[in-house]
């Protein structure tokens, strides 16, 4: 009888130890999903005055996402370290390159910002200085979209379309977002990262040493 009781107690103790060592159940919080990819930001270019340029590099250091009113999503700021430069000349029409991919909290968003460190442009066949103007050090796109919870692992591909236009006859160019070609439902042809399209850490040396345009 004593042996049976001892065996019973040993079995109970083993079961308790197994319960205590079991992994915690998933809660579905953003921390648990931080390694998932549910959002990709791609850069593209609406033609306008891009044909004036041999190369036009935009250097992006941060991406900002602003939640919509009453949204559960929080303010998000994604730091690109190192910074990423993209050549808009290579990204005309549906061509696009991925600038960032990762996880953002589910919810509704109303704005997307690109923080621009520099704009380096070379005009075709000209050595004259050019001015490339930004409204500030960031490009702001007002666009309402949602990242839905439990969407079966699908990824939102958000195209951020940038365009350069001439500002009259002043010799100045203006860089701005193009709402009509931006958003998660846009058609795009994703381009691989090549030296002509993407430069990590800033614009290529051969452009930066000759470029005349900076945002101001």
Residue 52 to residue 58: CA distance in whole angstroms: 16
Q: What value does the mean pLDDT take over residues 93-115?
A: 95
Q: Structure tokens of 93?
A: 């029409």
Does the pLDDT of residue 120 top 70, yes or no? yes
Does the pLDDT of residue 23 top 60, yes or no? no
Mean pLDDT across the chain, nearest whole number?
81
Does the pLDDT of residue 118 top 70, yes or no? yes
CB 101 within 8 A of CB 152: no
Residue 16: phi, psi to the nearest 5? -65, -40
Does the pLDDT of residue 18 top 90, yes or no? no
Does the pLDDT of residue 113 top 90, yes or no? yes
* pLDDT range class, residue 42, cuts 50, 70, 90: very high
* pLDDT range class, residue 65, cuts 50, 70, 90: very high
Does the pLDDT of residue 73 top 90, yes or no? no
Higher pLDDT pick, 104 / 209: 104
Does the pLDDT of residue 66 top 90, yes or no? yes
Mention every residue, 6+ apart, whose C-beta is less than 8 A from residue 100.
40, 41, 63, 78, 80, 84
Does the pLDDT of residue 81 top 90, yes or no? yes
**Residue 213: what pLDDT?**
62
Supply the DSSP symbol for 171: S
Q: Structure tokens of 112?
A: 């997307």
Residue 135 to residue 58: CA distance in whole angstroms: 14
**Residue 145: what pLDDT?**
94
**Residue 26: what pLDDT?**
27
Q: What value does the mean pLDDT take over residues 88-115?
A: 95
**With pLDDT > 70 as the criterion, what percentage of the chain qualifies?**
78
* pLDDT range class, residue 191, cuts 50, 70, 90: very high
Higher pLDDT pick, 11 / 101: 101
In this structure, is the dihedral angle defined by the CA atoms of residues 93, 95, 101 and 103, taken in order, positive or negative?
Answer: positive
Does the pLDDT of residue 123 top 50, yes or no? yes
Q: Structure tokens of 61?
A: 């250091």
The alpha-helical segments, DSSP class H, found in the chain are: 2-21, 205-208
């Amino acid at each position: 009888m004593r042996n049976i009781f001892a065996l019973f107690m040993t079995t109970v103790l083993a079961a308790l130890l197994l319960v205590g060592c079991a992994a915690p159940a998933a809660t579905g919080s953003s921390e648990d999903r931080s390694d998932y990819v549910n959002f990709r930001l791609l850069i593209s270019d609406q033609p306008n005055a891009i044909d004036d340029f041999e190369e036009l590099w935009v250097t992006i250091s941060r991406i900002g996402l602003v939640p919509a009113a009453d949204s559960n999503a929080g303010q998000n700021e994604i730091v690109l370290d190192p910074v990423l430069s993209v050549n808009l000349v290579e990204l005309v029409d549906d061509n696009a390159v991925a600038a960032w991919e990762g996880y953002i909290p589910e919810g509704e968003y109303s704005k997307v910002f690109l923080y621009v460190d520099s704009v380096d442009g070379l005009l075709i066949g000209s050595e004259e200085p050019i001015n490339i103007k930004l409204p500030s050090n960031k490009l702001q796109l007002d666009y309402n979209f949602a990242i839905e919870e439990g969407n079966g692992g699908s990824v939102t591909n958000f195209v951020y379309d940038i365009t350069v236009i001439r500002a009259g006859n002043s010799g100045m160019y203006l860089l701005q977002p193009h709402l009509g070609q931006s958003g998660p439902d846009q058609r795009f042809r994703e381009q691989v990262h090549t030296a002509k399209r993407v430069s990590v850490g800033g614009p290529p040396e051969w452009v930066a040493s000759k470029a005349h345009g900076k945002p101001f």
